[in-house]
């Protein structure tokens, strides 16, 4: 399934310089009025959930970020139907 909006991923930062470079790129793109929320990364499965008129219609894996695999039956067991 092709995602309506690409599911992008952030690059890894391995040292302080990587973080400073990331901050510089963000500030160049959006200006200096920004705040960061940093959380531990927990690996898992990234999915896209689609609801139409408040009703769950499908789920898909992230895949390559542009196209993912449909997970309709699996998704229905774990996500609210409304």
* Residue 20 placed within a domain: yes
Tally of structural domains, the chain: 1
Distance CA 81, CA 50 (A): 10
* Residue 8 placed within a domain: no
27-81: per-residue pLDDT in tens? 999 999 999 887 777 788 888 888 999 998 888 999 999 999 998 777 777 888 8
Q: What is the pTM of this model?
A: 0.60
User: Alpha carbon of 55 to those of 72, 77, 82: distances in Å?
Assistant: 13, 14, 5
Q: Please say if 41 is a catalytic residue.
A: yes
Which domain range does residue 37 map to?
Answer: 16-78
* Residue 1 placed within a domain: no
Q: Check 29, 30, 41, 43 and give the catalytic one.
A: 41
* Residue 7 placed within a domain: no
* Residue 3 placed within a domain: no
12-24: per-residue pLDDT in tens? 889 999 999 999 9
* Residue 61 placed within a domain: yes
């Amino acid at each position: 399934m092709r995602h309506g909006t690409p599911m992008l991923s952030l690059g890894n930062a391995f040292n302080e310089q990587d973080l400073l470079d990331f901050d510089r790129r963000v500030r160049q793109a959006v200006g200096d009025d920004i705040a960061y929320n940093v959380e531990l990364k927990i690996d898992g499965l990234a999915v896209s959930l689609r609801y139409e008129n408040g009703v769950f219609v499908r789920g898909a894996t992230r895949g390559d970020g542009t196209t993912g695999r449909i997970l309709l039956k699996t998704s229905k067991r774990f996500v609210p139907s409304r």
